[in-house]
Chains A and B, each alone.
Chain A
């Protein structure tokens, strides 16, 4: 009997010890205050119940994230077990060697990365064949528009009379600009913009650049921002703010711009796709059920001007407990949990979540979001992307305020881009 009891006691003791050890472990994650973070937070109790691990999610505004992360990443042992990485920090974090390769974990647990949209893995997944991140959510930009205004018969006939075109979801950039002008009447504006420097304006204007057929650079990492298409894109942006947008759009961050759209003040808003779900939230929106999202139209039908964007999960090399971090990561990125996040309104990065019947049934616009993501363009990512965004934001803002001409502002941005690319050893 005693012989039997001994191993039982030992097992009991070790289980209790393990359980209390595991319970004592805390995972700390720094995340941005965005809807997708809330969807993760809502599911945290499930994870804690399953594993006994305490999870602390520190939520801060975007503007503070980089500042908070860097000192922790430079340290030998930081306080964050797991972090989320914006796509344009990827080059910098990689170069500095702050992220831990995940391939061993992936292989050990047989985690399948094939369902991820390839563009997502390129942006916030693998670098030079090594996986450093798992794509968390996408924020590819699209065009939010008012479906009720497009379907209105009086608007249809007035638009036809004014332009000779049918009023429908715009298929080309030119058609979109005509609609923006058409819908600007008194307090109602054709478009609302997010002109605050640096990233709101830089990200939004990127859509204008691609929509006009422009690009940031050629194959040799030489800037093409001085092209006619880029100059026209900036002229269009300035015209939209000055002539067809609400007063003050030159200083709006995305929340302020969205509020104007959500209060019914504008026909359209080119923004992050996660605002599509927010537009249907009656607690913050007056345009519930009256909003659609489409890829930003391009120079011709079938081409889009949408900017791609995404966040990835990464385990920093300074993580105090990387194994536990991986345990959470593979849970939160499993198909089941990814579907649960999408059902709350999250922006997927996995094709199997986009195609999930339950997700499609609840959000029929998920098909639009998938199309938007598949056709979107990438922003140049390299070590100095954050610096380039800062430069671009400053120059675009100078053009919007009229302190510089579009051509001069873009020439200055192009010059600094070339210098940064050269400094990073990318120039061919």
Chain B
């Protein structure tokens, strides 16, 4: 049973949150609801009208589209690749930085530089550096007798290249988050372990990893959610090519909307992507509450 004071508190709480909630509703809730509504119609920018209700047809078309299926598969492998590589490098560097006493600030600044750059700029710079005949990377490889490497003109290489460029750009995010987790770990278990004669590897395996588990889960989930939405680097560097080697879902949806001008279907595709991201965010939320 709620007391009067509790009820008044709750009302007051709602009152304080109302402006923020209304703003969120207007700038996020409304466009999402509108997009989901549009996804139920045959709505194109050439003939923009809500006359043709098609129900779930757009979703059925999207799910049956082989090209979309391929884009989903490419996105899955892309996300898996960048998250695994970024986590491995990120954790290693975070561990190293955590035991570094001097010059930590300088390392931070250097590591954060790529993260501060706009993905479009990152894509353009790397496209220039990786130009097979005029770029500096192949030139330097040539000096030691290697190459020239066909960075973006071969399907497998192009996929690996965009993964590596994304790693270069985003790995600092992992480092910063994991480092924050590491520096918050208590010192006592390590001291006890040292007294008991545990090796560094044993300390890592039996203390660091279990204590870091919640931070790791959260970091991985946030990175996965962002990675699924990757668009800029693909748009600038490969346009989904060569062939369809780097055709990610976000770029596919963009084409449906702004090249095909088929907003209804694009909204349905975006709805499907949103469902995946919402499910992951809900899981993330649960994990974070446990932490």
A252 to B127, CA, bound (A): 10
Residues of B within 8 A of A125 (CB): none
Residue from the list B153, B244, B261 in contact with A248, Cβ < 8 A:
B153
Closest to A187 in B: B133
Is A400 an interface position by the 8 A CB rule?
A: yes
| Contact indicator A248/B152 (Cβ below 8 Å) | yes
Residue from the list A250, A259, A393, A400 in contact with B134, Cβ < 8 A:
A259
Closest to A69 in B: B258
Contact surface of B with A, Cβ cutoff 8 Å: 45-48, 127, 131-134, 148-155, 158, 235, 238-245, 255, 258-261
Is A25 an interface position by the 8 A CB rule?
A: no
Closest to A394 in B: B244
Can you name 13 A-B residue pairings with CB atoms under 8 Å?
A197-B240, A197-B242, A248-B151, A248-B152, A248-B153, A249-B153, A250-B154, A251-B151, A251-B242, A393-B241, A394-B241, A397-B244, A401-B245
Please name the 10 residue pairs, one residue from A and one from B, whose CB atoms are nearest each other, closest first. A248-B132, A251-B152, A250-B153, A248-B153, A401-B243, A247-B132, A251-B153, A398-B243, A197-B241, A96-B46
Q: A70-B258, A198-B239 are in contact. Are A403 and B155 (CB under 8 A)?
A: yes
| Contact indicator B153/A95 (Cβ below 8 Å) | no
Residue from the list A197, A386, A398 in contact with B239, Cβ < 8 A:
A197
Known: A251-B158, A251-B238, A401-B243. 16 other contacts (CB 8 A): A67-B258, A95-B46, A195-B153, A196-B241, A248-B131, A248-B133, A251-B153, A251-B241, A251-B242, A259-B131, A383-B46, A387-B260, A390-B255, A400-B242, A400-B243, A401-B241
Residues of A within 8 A of B153 (CB): 195, 247-252
> With contacts defined as CB atoms under 8 Å apart, how many contacts are there between chain A and chain B in the complex?
96
Q: Is the interface of A mostly helix, strand, loop or mixed?
A: helix
How far does the Cβ of B34 sit from chain A's closest Cβ, in whole Å? 14
How far does the Cβ of B114 sit from chain A's closest Cβ, in whole Å? 23
Q: A248-B131, A259-B134 are in contact. Are A66 and B241 (CB under 8 A)?
A: no
How far does the Cβ of A199 sit from chain B's closest Cβ, in whole Å? 9
A window 374-397: CB within 8 A of B: 383, 386-387, 390, 393-394, 397
A window 163-203: CB within 8 A of B: 195-198
How far does the Cβ of A73 sit from chain B's closest Cβ, in whole Å? 8
| Contact indicator B148/A403 (Cβ below 8 Å) | no
| Contact indicator A401/B154 (Cβ below 8 Å) | yes
Is A5 an interface position by the 8 A CB rule?
A: no
Contact surface of A with B, Cβ cutoff 8 Å: 63, 66-67, 70, 74, 92, 95-96, 195-198, 246-252, 256, 259-260, 263, 265, 383, 386-387, 390, 393-394, 397-398, 400-401, 403-404
A259 to B133, CA, bound (A): 10
Residues of B within 8 A of A386 (CB): 259-260
Q: Is the interface of B mostly helix, strand, loop or mixed?
A: loop
A242 to B167, CA, bound (A): 30
| Contact indicator B243/A248 (Cβ below 8 Å) | no
Residues of B within 8 A of A195 (CB): 153, 242
How far does the Cβ of B244 sit from chain A's closest Cβ, in whole Å? 6
Closest to B131 in A: A256
How far does the Cβ of A410 sit from chain B's closest Cβ, in whole Å? 15
| Contact indicator B243/A403 (Cβ below 8 Å) | yes
How far does the Cβ of A423 sit from chain B's closest Cβ, in whole Å? 11
Residue from the list A63, A74, A383, A387 in contact with B48, Cβ < 8 A:
A74
A198 to B254, CA, bound (A): 14
Closest to A200 in B: B239
A195 to B153, CA, bound (A): 8
Residues of A within 8 A of B151 (CB): 248, 251
Residues of A within 8 A of B235 (CB): 63
A95 to B240, CA, bound (A): 29
Residues of A within 8 A of B127 (CB): 256
Q: A246-B133, A247-B148, A247-B150 are in contact. Are A387 and B243 (CB under 8 A)?
A: no
| Contact indicator B258/A401 (Cβ below 8 Å) | no
Residues of A within 8 A of B260 (CB): 386-387, 390
How far does the Cβ of A85 sit from chain B's closest Cβ, in whole Å? 15
| Contact indicator A401/B134 (Cβ below 8 Å) | no
| Contact indicator A74/B45 (Cβ below 8 Å) | yes
A252 to B135, CA, bound (A): 13
Closest to B262 in A: A387
| Contact indicator B242/A387 (Cβ below 8 Å) | no
A95 to B154, CA, bound (A): 38
A377 to B239, CA, bound (A): 27
A196 to B127, CA, bound (A): 12
How far does the Cβ of B120 sit from chain A's closest Cβ, in whole Å? 10
| Contact indicator B133/A247 (Cβ below 8 Å) | yes
